[in-house]
Amino acid sequence: MVEINFVEIEKKWQEAWEKEKIFEVKEDSKKKKCYVLEMFPYPSGAGLHMGHALNYTIGDIQARFKRMNNFNVLYPMGYDAFGLPAENAAIKVGEHPGKYTENSMNNFVMQQKSLGLSYDWSKKLATCDPEYYKWNQYLFLKFFEAGLVYRKKSAVNWCPKCATVLANEQVHNGKCWRHSDTDVETKQLEQWFIKITKYVEELLNEIPKLDWPNRIKVLQENWIGKSFGTEVIFKINNDDWKVFTTRPDTLYGVTFLVISAQHSKLFDLVTKEEKPKVEAFLKKLKSVSEKELEDMEKEGIFTGSYAINPLTKEKVPIYAGNFVVADYASGMVMAVPAHDQRDFEFAKKYSIPIKLVIQNKENNLKLNEMQRAYTDNGLLVNSDKFNGLHNREAIDKITEYLQSINLGSKTVLYKLRDWLISRQRYWGTPIPMIYCDKCGIVPVNEKDLPILLPEKVKFGEGNPLATNSEFINVKCPKCNGSAKRETDTMDTFFDSSWYFLRYPDSKNAKVPFDNAKVKYWMPVDHYIGGAEHACMHLIYARFFTKVLRDLKYIEFGEPFNKLFNQGMLYGEDGNKMSKSLGNVVNPIDIINKYSADSLRFNLMSLASPDKDSVWSNNGMESANKFVNKFVDFYTNIKIGKTNVKIEHLVNKTIKEYTEDIANYKYNVGIIKLRTLLDVVSQEKELAKQDLESILKLMHPLCPHITEELWHKLGNKDFISLSNWPVADEKKINDKFDKEDKALNNLAEDLNNILKIIQDKKTKAFVYVIPNELEFLKDLSSVEKKTGLEIKVFAVNDKAKYDPENKSGKAKLNKPAIHLE
């Protein structure tokens, strides 16, 4: 074995690729394009983790493969550089978020380069760069002009000690992340929203057309959450209040209403008497996400008001509850405790009457015996003129009746709500709006963009922008009077909703993106990332694309043709890699210990890239051994001729492996490469063309060492830019596979028999079906494996030696055997 200096080789080729700019691309109408993209990372201070290495290796293999298949490949990288962690670091260690982010990004670039990723670095972008976020502001203004932006009061998490708004991630068990003794409160603030709901039908209807993993499509459908139902009007103090229900058939069983505790009009319903109790209730409510809501204890408090059931005209009490979502439907629900488990528990807890309105088939449901709600179908009871109707039929019948008396109507509802983009913090894109006492809310003039983040700000006391007078005070663009700037910044999902359009021309100072370039490169052909982005990012990006199409910037409505979701990578102990479990493997340590090529090879060997996988140190050793063996083979092999049998295997491997790589079955391809190397390494010589082909197959996995060996074979160009090998079908002959199989089976059969019988045998006579004879010509390998001298006869051979008359027992694929 030769000693290979991987560190030196990898560095050498990384530098050569960069110096020759071989991965930098331009539009070329004569070439087919392929846009390969990984979801850009948040550049955390901790640097790359193994999940990143996995993600980028998957993408790089596809990019290299497509490039070698004559595609003009755009494969860029950038950074989702705004966001909370940088600001938190600023608060904790006093480093400016800009500085922190810049250091993190530089470190990311260095580490990504050490993995041998073939990015076009000339197109790098960072969302915290004014050259980028200027266009966030520009697009925000375009959205505003198009009527897609509005302001509305909405609930936020508020820490009274920090005197600031907290993100959901900063709320731990209802307490502030910095003040574990302080309850997070809910506060109503005016905030900026984007009307994504205007596109909800298109977002939903186009899901089936996407070439995306099915589970992601289902997640998006559920996130959009279309429901068909009925809006019922309840009179409360002579006002109309709307309530959304999917079960109007249960309307006669409504015994109370529940309004969301976060509802903006809650206090219209709270009577003087109940006010202190309601306020106390609100104070102790925890801020939780909608997901957590489902498992949370359902609680409520009486508001003092009553509503009139539109059908029974009965008075039912109204409660404020923690389980009703303020901004879903009308934020108020009609409760039917007999037929909804959540309502059942609530009614029991607060001693509210329960009324049965659906009877089961056996006609034996009794209210006082019910331990839980009856949620199945049945016939209506206690429902006046609707009694006896099947409840499924009653849904339409009752809705029609409500409609006829103007107290309800059929509606469609979506879970997807308008997108709240206001963030009350510093490290994000300033929203380009101005408040003037005279003119109201005025958008910033386009020519005044970008609105830069001020450098010098005070962290730790609320939103740093809100305390920065230099930033806030501004002239009104309309009347030139003194006015104030918006201090909210944008949700960073805004930044990531269109970055893929910026890459083709990421330095353009005149427009957010160049139409001709975008037209050439977009849509993204392969988008690679984790399933955790199934909803937010992937829906927002689809939405932006549709808006930009309608604003005539682009001509397509879907940004990502194919989505590839990589699996999760777990630590060797089967747990999620985490510092506290001590099972983290750092990619850079592995590169230093083995090599980037070995790491890449190992990551792709673990499992199918779309399936979860478990890190293995043994696997890492084995990958490293293979890479070394591969180099060893190329160092020792003589260039000469390839025999027909090897030619068959090489071409068959090219054919199958090409399919595997194209379909992201990298691990399957690797098994074939390993088999191929096992076989060819038994050979004394191989044709140069075959040696080059095998090297090319290996290249996307191990780009550095293959580039080195390519040059050792006398090539002056880059293997990275060479043409992918094409299988020569003429050289593929199934006969060889059948022969291999027949010989292996025979050796196995013979060894099994030898194991069973005790006496010493030296000769074997084998009888086969006549057309199998041709596969058992060269018996040397079987003789070697069994230690027997072997003779094979066709069963119909008149001259065969067959003292025991065994030949009659031979079957297809199952020769008969006589031993001596």
Residues of this chain that bind ligand ANZ (CB under 6 A): 227, 244-247, 250, 324-325, 328-329, 331, 333-334, 336, 339-340, 413
Tell me which of Zn ion, ligand ANZ, none is bound by residue 673, counting a contact when its beta carbon lies within the kind-specific cut-off of 5 to 8 angstroms: none
Distance, CA of 613 to CA of 567 (rounded, Å)? 7
Distance, CA of 694 to CA of 697 (rounded, Å)? 5
Nearer to ligand ANZ, 398 or 590 (CB): 398
Contact string (CB under 5 A) for Zn ion, positions 273-312, x = contact: ----------------------------------------
Tell me which of ligand ANZ, Zn ion, none is bound by residue 458, counting a contact when its beta carbon lies within the kind-specific cut-off of 5 to 8 angstroms: none
The distance of closest approach from Cβ of residue 70 to ligand ANZ in the complex, given in angstroms and rounded to an integer, is 50
Q: Pick from 648, 607, 636: which is nearest to 732 by CA?
A: 648
List b or e across 544-571, with b for residues whose CB sees 16 or more CB atoms inside 10 angstroms: bbbbbeeeebbeebbbbbbbbbbbbbbb
Distance, CA of 170 to CA of 185 (rounded, Å)? 13
Tell me which of Zn ion, ligand ANZ, none is bound by residue 4, counting a contact when its beta carbon lies within the kind-specific cut-off of 5 to 8 angstroms: none
The distance of closest approach from Cβ of residue 248 to ligand ANZ in the complex, given in angstroms and rounded to an integer, is 8
Nearer to Zn ion, 89 or 518 (CB): 89
Distance, CA of 788 to CA of 817 (rounded, Å)? 12
Contacts of 318 (CB under 8 A, 6+ apart): 236, 256, 257, 258, 259, 269, 302, 303, 305, 306, 307
Tell me which of ligand ANZ, Zn ion, none is bound by residue 331, counting a contact when its beta carbon lies within the kind-specific cut-off of 5 to 8 angstroms: ligand ANZ
Q: Does 92 bind Zn ion (CB under 5 A)?
A: no
The distance of closest approach from Cβ of residue 294 to ligand ANZ in the complex, given in angstroms and rounded to an integer, is 10
Tell me which of ligand ANZ, Zn ion, none is bound by residue 339, counting a contact when its beta carbon lies within the kind-specific cut-off of 5 to 8 angstroms: ligand ANZ
Tell me which of ligand ANZ, Zn ion, none is bound by residue 245, counting a contact when its beta carbon lies within the kind-specific cut-off of 5 to 8 angstroms: ligand ANZ
44: left (phi over 0), alpha (psi -120 to 50) or beta: beta
Nearer to Zn ion, 420 or 439 (CB): 439
Nearer to Zn ion, 89 or 354 (CB): 89
**Omega before 450 within 30 of 0, i.e. cis:** yes
116 and 11 in contact (C-beta within 8 Å)?
Answer: no
Nearer to ligand ANZ, 123 or 339 (CB): 339
The distance of closest approach from Cβ of residue 274 to ligand ANZ in the complex, given in angstroms and rounded to an integer, is 21
Nearer to ligand ANZ, 290 or 659 (CB): 290
Tell me the two tokens of residue 679.
Answer: 């076989």
Tell me which of ligand ANZ, Zn ion, none is bound by residue 385, counting a contact when its beta carbon lies within the kind-specific cut-off of 5 to 8 angstroms: none
Nearer to ligand ANZ, 110 or 293 (CB): 293
Q: Pick from 270, 407, 265, 274: which is nearest to 332 by CA?
A: 265
Tell me which of Zn ion, ligand ANZ, none is bound by residue 329, counting a contact when its beta carbon lies within the kind-specific cut-off of 5 to 8 angstroms: ligand ANZ
Nearer to ligand ANZ, 343 or 772 (CB): 343
Q: Is 103 helix (H, G, I), strand (E, B) or coil?
A: helix
The distance of closest approach from Cβ of residue 179 to Zn ion in the complex, given in angstroms and rounded to an integer, is 4
The distance of closest approach from Cβ of residue 177 to ligand ANZ in the complex, given in angstroms and rounded to an integer, is 27
Distance, CA of 633 to CA of 635 (rounded, Å)? 5
The distance of closest approach from Cβ of residue 440 to Zn ion in the complex, given in angstroms and rounded to an integer, is 8
Interface of this chain with Zn ion, residues 139 to 178, rule: CB under 5 A: 159, 161-162, 176, 178
Nearer to ligand ANZ, 230 or 722 (CB): 230
Tell me which of Zn ion, ligand ANZ, none is bound by residue 161, counting a contact when its beta carbon lies within the kind-specific cut-off of 5 to 8 angstroms: Zn ion
Tell me which of Zn ion, ligand ANZ, none is bound by residue 575, counting a contact when its beta carbon lies within the kind-specific cut-off of 5 to 8 angstroms: none
Pairing of strands 164-166, 149-159: antiparallel
Question: Which segments of 288-351 does DSSP mark as H helices, in order?
Answer: 290-295, 341-349
Nearer to ligand ANZ, 200 or 336 (CB): 336
The distance of closest approach from Cβ of residue 177 to Zn ion in the complex, given in angstroms and rounded to an integer, is 7
Contact segment (CB under 5 A) with Zn ion among 479-487, 524-532, 576-584, 612-620 equals 479-487
Tell me which of Zn ion, ligand ANZ, none is bound by residue 247, counting a contact when its beta carbon lies within the kind-specific cut-off of 5 to 8 angstroms: ligand ANZ
Query: Using alpha carbons only, what angle is made at residue 642 by residues 639 and 645, rounded to the nearest 5 degrees?
Result: 155
Among the listed residues 436, 534, 569, 697, the single contact to Zn ion using CB under 5 A: 436
Question: Which segments of 225-289 does DSSP mark as H helices, in order?
Answer: 266-269, 275-283
Distance, CA of 727 to CA of 731 (rounded, Å)? 8
608 and 660 in contact (C-beta within 8 Å)?
Answer: no
Contact string (CB under 5 A) for Zn ion, positions 103-142, x = contact: ----------------------------------------
Distance, CA of 452 to CA of 820 (rounded, Å)? 93
Distance, CA of 32 to CA of 619 (rounded, Å)? 38
In degrees rounded to 5, what are phi and psi of residue 35? -105, 110
Nearer to ligand ANZ, 67 or 339 (CB): 339
Tell me which of ligand ANZ, Zn ion, none is bound by residue 476, counting a contact when its beta carbon lies within the kind-specific cut-off of 5 to 8 angstroms: Zn ion
Tell me the two tokens of residue 188.
Answer: 């109503």
Tell me which of ligand ANZ, Zn ion, none is bound by residue 69, counting a contact when its beta carbon lies within the kind-specific cut-off of 5 to 8 angstroms: none
Size of site (CB under 5 A) for Zn ion? 12
577 and 587 in contact (C-beta within 8 Å)?
Answer: no
DSSP code at position 520: H
3-state secondary structure 123-181: HCEECCCHHHHHHHHHHHHHHHHCCCEEEEEEEEEEECCCCEEECHHHEECCEECCCCC
Nearer to ligand ANZ, 170 or 262 (CB): 262
Pairing of strands 408-414, 226-236: antiparallel
335 and 344 in contact (C-beta within 8 Å)?
Answer: no
Tell me which of ligand ANZ, Zn ion, none is bound by residue 224, counting a contact when its beta carbon lies within the kind-specific cut-off of 5 to 8 angstroms: none
Nearer to ligand ANZ, 329 or 603 (CB): 329
**Omega before 815 within 30 of 0, i.e. cis:** no
Contact string (CB under 5 A) for Zn ion, positions 177-216, x = contact: -xx-------------------------------------
Site residues, Zn ion (CB under 5 A)? 159, 161-162, 176, 178-179, 436, 438-439, 476, 478-479
